[in-house]
Amino acid sequence: MHGVCGIFGTLSLGLFATGEYGAPTPLGADNSAGAVVTGLFYGGGANQLIAQAIGSAAVTAATFACGMALMYAVKATGTLRVSKEGELEGLDLHEHGGPAYPELTGGISGYTASPSGESAASGVAIVAK
């Protein structure tokens, strides 16, 4: 969602820039003929659209590379997956001590309050029957 919409917004400048605004400078907009940006649909040609596409591709590639590097680093530490017990119990119970979205299931069916191992959030721990 965010990536696709962000890329569309970036490419939109190369398509829909009307030429009303110039390049930003410390003293305000530079509205000289060479600094005004016009998009493909307003007679500016494809140069701005190509520049925006190159920028979007560069940011996408850098984000992907950093994301992959970080995930491989986490995987190398052995902390990427939850334990088998956590998978079988369910992450909500295992990590947070309670079921997810009990209001959508009409209560906490299938679970009972246990006096041992109380949860800090609710005062009781929820364990599977």
Instruction: Kindly state whether residues 27 and 70 are assigned to the same domain.
Output: yes
Q: Which residues, 6 or more positions from 16, have their beta carbon under 8 angstroms from its beta carbon?
A: 39, 41, 42
Instruction: Kindly state whether residues 90 and 47 are assigned to the same domain.
Output: no
Instruction: Kindly state whether residues 65 and 37 are assigned to the same domain.
Output: yes
- Show the beta-strand stretches assigned E in the chain: 23-25, 28-30, 111-114, 125-128
Instruction: Kindly state whether residues 20 and 71 are assigned to the same domain.
Output: yes
Q: Could you give the number of structural domains in the chain?
A: 2
pTM across the whole model: 0.62
Domain range for 114 is 84-128
- Show the beta-strand stretches assigned E in 9-124: 23-25, 28-30, 111-114
Instruction: Kindly state whether residues 120 and 90 are assigned to the same domain.
Output: yes
pLDDT tens-place string over residues 56-88: 999 999 999 999 999 999 999 988 888 898 888
Q: Is-contact 54 62, C-beta < 8 A?
A: no
pLDDT tens-place string over residues 19-29: 888 788 898 88
Instruction: Kindly state whether residues 9 and 33 are assigned to the same domain.
Output: yes
